[in-house]
Chains A and B, each alone.
Chain A
Amino acid sequence: MTTLRRATPAGLWFLLLAGAAGAQTRRDLILATTTSTQDTGLLDSLVPRFEQTCRCRVKTIAVGTGRALALAARGEADVALVHAPTLEERYIAQGKFVGRRLVMTNDFVVLGPEADPARLRGAKQVDDAFRALAQGKAPFASRADSSGTHLLELDLWRQAGVEPKGPWYLEVGQGMGATLRIASQKGAYTLSDRGTYLAQRATLDLAVLFEGAPQLLNIYHVMLPNPDSFPQVNVPGGRAFADFLVSPETQEFIARFGTARFGQPLFTPAANRREEDLGRRAA
């Protein structure tokens, strides 16, 4: 019992000290972001570089884009790195964010079993591809988690004029990595950002069956929440991180990232480009 009694103050002290430490480093930065930036390993490389310059701690919360934007919009994060332009614009229109800058791009690809039962390889337009998928010849694994990838997938079904419904449509409700694995195991098709796919290709039985359409461009923006209603938001920290992402050094790092391990870069830096030009280029 004596050891127990000695443990009491020690334990409470830890909590108090930890709380005090938390208060001291109030300028900790909370970054809400999408799973793709973490699952590819990009953030694990970028964040320590930023931490050295800002002498602060970045708390990276990797969730889907939907949740990342929702968190930042209510002042629970100081900066967001996301990839769902339509949703981002909606939040901007509501005045929930005050800054939005283009950071990088890669593209989405439609993956599926090598045998390609839905014959996606012959599709000319992305609409044709999604109409072929909707015939249900093979299962399709949907993220179904309000992530940027999921929101784009829903747009693509809508544009193709089909409703994804039926036993072939699997709503997985998990991150990109888990969804890729489920698709691979079930012989299903799925939509993925190229970066996550390249980073995990070795463990997957999935091939790229449709790519290159302008609609499949994947655009990452850094967003700064509107601090007006949330005084807790670390405004200078968020801005410093956004500046860091679009700085020439970071952009150069992004351009090289992944080359050593995957033979090709996973992202294309885009800080100096305009969104309209990007769309035309990809087309």
Chain B
Amino acid sequence: MKKSRLNVLVIEDNELNRYLLTFLLEHRGHRVRSATDGPAGIALAKALLPDLVLLDIQLPTMHGYDVAATLREVESVGNIPIIAVTSHAMAGDRENALAAGCSGYIEKPIDPDTFVDEVESVCWQSPDMESS
């Protein structure tokens, strides 16, 4: 069954982008919490057990791929869909993100008209969401 109101955790270091993602998601009625780096994001994910994690890849202190891999190893949050939101866009980035355990990949700059639709479709396609 689809859950129409998602609890989203945004892990993004850039303040403006964090605000942008939060605004877009909240405008569609989702609840958003955010963290500014990897370790804080992992701690928050364990505490909140969100429905979805939006993860920036170029983060200070801890790389986004490592954050994704770490989240996958924790039993309580291991099945939460993770969407990489990255401006990296180099050869093999998508493959690397998926290999690190991300369920989806959205390239920056995001298109505000379609961004939330993309996020929702990744989230609702994920097998974990079917049962919740």
Interaction A to B: no
Residues of B within 8 A of A (CB): none
Residues of A within 8 A of B (CB): none
